[in-house]
């Protein structure tokens, strides 16, 4: 357990009065990224006099919430480069709830506290119960089916927030804004879609209320926050003199672009390094395609080649060249950003990937691929198909995903696939032969590839060719060959 009284003098601790904080925000998804990003920004604002406190909610895992409670709702964030470490204690949290042990009712009531002005979330793409290919609600999702039948005991994120909106409306409480901080294009629009469409199926009047009174600002977030390992915890414990099970480590880089569209006020995030804008989409697309797209490319092709971390991929000059080429040759032409030096942005990403202090595992990034591929790779692919231009690095990323989810690595070892469509993927793999038939079967997965890509002969032929090359030559040789050809 974290013991602040025993911490080294160089660890920054809160200087503000935590008793003066007011719970004005509920955040759903108390994961590593939120702890190193939005919560840290709020902590920095509290040092400047802000009273905006967080109620943290985890819907599934309760271990983190229990640990957080045991150490007076405090935890540490350590920023790391190859040769420096900076640790601070975050004290911005005022409440913490676990959906299962505390109950859904407690979570709904937390969102119904009169002072709540913002409900935000980092639950990954799969938490929205949406169709990645369209951005619309998936009405067949088991949790959505349940929530339509039992709206007062919701299981899904959209159902949970909808229940709170409805209850606040009944109590004549002011509306809150709903802010997604997940890596999805137009994440505010996706959040509006799933909540409004769920409301429409229950009550058109409730859906009209949401359209009129609730805002869904989009955001773009960027910071590399690797999963903590036993080794990382042991090193940090030795340095701090006590064990913090809620600790996170992150790179120094921090970016947060926020659509300034809040119905009931907001913190002065701009004073903590955020950028408030009228349109987030160009920034979202730049980050999703150049950073997240190259991350997924490196995750699948790096993992298959035996590279455990992104920094290991960067030690391979051809992988480094491939990642940069994907950013600048394949993704940059598809973007709508203006006044941004994309070459400098790409070079800054490569430099961040090379930070060996950040142990960002390729396996971690490779999870939930069915939710990530549409916005990270396939949106760019479609742009090139419309314009008749090549995009081999994007296509190799798609083929790499197909090879990865086949479930066996290049050494013949089983890969544990973590994906919300895991069962469907396993069925496709089991019922298709390795090679063109496997590619064809996966392209029929509408939730990922939509209705169009499997009919595009140039796309299908090239993905199939690259998939076959991965099978026969391996990931490293395939990447090296593509860079050499390019």
Question: How do residues 51-74 score in pLDDT, each as one tens digit?
Answer: 999 999 999 889 999 999 999 999
Tell the burial category of 485 from Cβ atoms under 10 Å away from its Cβ (0-12, 13-18, 19+).
Answer: exposed
Residue 266, pLDDT > 80, answer yes
If pLDDT is split at 50, 70 and 90, which confidence band does 6 have? confident
pLDDT tens-place string over residues 151-194: 999 999 999 999 999 999 999 999 999 999 998 888 999 999 99
Q: How far is CA 457 from CA 123, 249, 381, 449, 463, in A?
A: 36, 45, 13, 14, 10
pLDDT tens-place string over residues 373-397: 999 999 999 999 999 999 999 999 9
Cα–Cα distance between 421 and 447 in angstroms, integer?
A: 9
Q: What's the mean pLDDT in 435-443?
A: 96
Structure tokens at 431: 């019922």
Sheet containing 52-58: which strands, arranged edge to edge?
A: 93-98, 52-58, 22-28, 118-121, 177-180
Residue 456, pLDDT > 90, answer yes
- The answer to whether 395 touches 459, Cβ cutoff 8 Å, is yes
If pLDDT is split at 50, 70 and 90, which confidence band does 339 have? confident
Output the average pLDDT for the chain. Answer: 95
pLDDT tens-place string over residues 187-219: 999 999 999 999 999 999 999 999 999 999 999
Alpha helix ranges (H) inside 279-341:
281-286, 293-305, 310-314, 317-325
Taking alpha carbons only, the member of 191, 255, 196 closest to residue 218 is 191
* Model pTM above 0.85: no
What pLDDT is stored for residue 481 in this prediction? Answer: 96
Sorted by where each starts, the structural domains of the chain and their CATH numbers stand as 4-277 (3.40.50.720), 281-485 (1.10.1040.10)
What pLDDT is stored for residue 373 in this prediction? Answer: 95
What pLDDT is stored for residue 171 in this prediction? Answer: 97
Tell the burial category of 282 from Cβ atoms under 10 Å away from its Cβ (0-12, 13-18, 19+).
Answer: middle
| H or E element, residue 212 | helix 204-213
pLDDT tens-place string over residues 276-311: 999 998 888 999 999 999 999 999 999 999 999 999
Residue 466, pLDDT > 90, answer yes
**Reduced to 3 states, what is the DSSP secondary structure of residue 262?**
coil
Torsion sign over Cα 100, 104, 106, 110: positive
Cα–Cα distance between 340 and 226 in angstroms, integer?
A: 27
Taking alpha carbons only, the member of 215, 218, 223, 214 closest to residue 180 is 218
């Amino acid at each position: 357990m974290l013991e602040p009284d025993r911490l080294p003098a160089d660890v920054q601790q809160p200087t503000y009065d935590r008793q003066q904080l007011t719970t004005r925000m509920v955040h759903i998804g108390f994961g590593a990224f939120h702890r190193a990003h939005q919560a840290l920004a709020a902590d920095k604002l509290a040092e400047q006099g802000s009273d905006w406190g967080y109620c943290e909610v985890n819907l599934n895992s309760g271990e983190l919430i229990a640990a957080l409670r045991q150490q007076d709702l405090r935890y540490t964030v350590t920023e790391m480069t190859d040769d420096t470490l900076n640790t601070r204690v975050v004290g911005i949290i005022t409440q913490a709830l676990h959906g299962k042990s505390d109950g859904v009712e407690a979570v709904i009531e937390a969102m119904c506290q009169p002072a709540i002005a913002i409900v935000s979330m980092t639950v990954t793409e799969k938490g929205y119960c949406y169709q990645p290919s369209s951005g619309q609600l998936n009405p067949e999702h088991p949790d959505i089916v349940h929530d339509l039948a039992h709206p007062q005991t919701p299981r899904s994120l959209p159902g949970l927030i909808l229940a709170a909106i409805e209850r606040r409306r009944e109590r004549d409480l002011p509306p809150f804004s709903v802010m997604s901080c997940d890596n999805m294009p137009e994440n505010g629009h996706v959040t509006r879609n799933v909540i409004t469409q769920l409301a429409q199926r229950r009550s058109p009047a409730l859906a009209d209320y949401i359209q009129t009174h609730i805002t869904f600002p989009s955001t773009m977030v960027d910071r590399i926050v690797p999963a903590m390992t036993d080794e990382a915890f042991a090193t940090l414990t030795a340095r701090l003199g006590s064990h913090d099970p809620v600790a996170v480590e992150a790179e120094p880089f921090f970016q947060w672009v926020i659509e300034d569209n809040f119905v009931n006020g907001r913190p002065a995030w701009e004073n903590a390094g955020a950028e408030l804008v009228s349109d987030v989409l160009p920034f979202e697309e730049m980050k999703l395609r150049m950073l997240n797209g190259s991350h997924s490319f490196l995750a699948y092709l790096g993992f298959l080649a035996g590279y455990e971390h992104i920094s290991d991929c960067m030690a391979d000059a051809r992988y480094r060249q491939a990642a940069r080429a994907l950013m600048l040759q394949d993704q940059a032409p598809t973007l709508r950003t203006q006044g941004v030096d994309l070459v400098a942005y790409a070079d800054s990403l490569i430099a961040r990937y090379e930070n060996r202090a950040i142990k960002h595992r390729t396996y971690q990034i490779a999870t939930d691929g069915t939710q990530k591929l549409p916005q990270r790779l396939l949106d760019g692919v479609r742009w090139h198909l419309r314009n008749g231009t090549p995009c081999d690095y994007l296509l190799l990323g798609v083929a790499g995903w197909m090879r990865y989810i086949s479930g066996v690595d290049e050494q013949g070892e089983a890969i544990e696939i973590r994906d919300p469509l895991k069962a469907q993927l396993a069925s496709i793999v089991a019922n298709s032969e390795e090679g063109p038939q496997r590619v064809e079967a996966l392209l029929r997965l509408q939730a990922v590839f939509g209705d169009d890509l499997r009919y595009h002969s140039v796309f299908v032929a090239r993905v199939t060719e690259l998939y076959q090359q991965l099978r026969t030559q391996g990931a490293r040789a395939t990447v090296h060959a593509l860079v050499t050809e390019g």
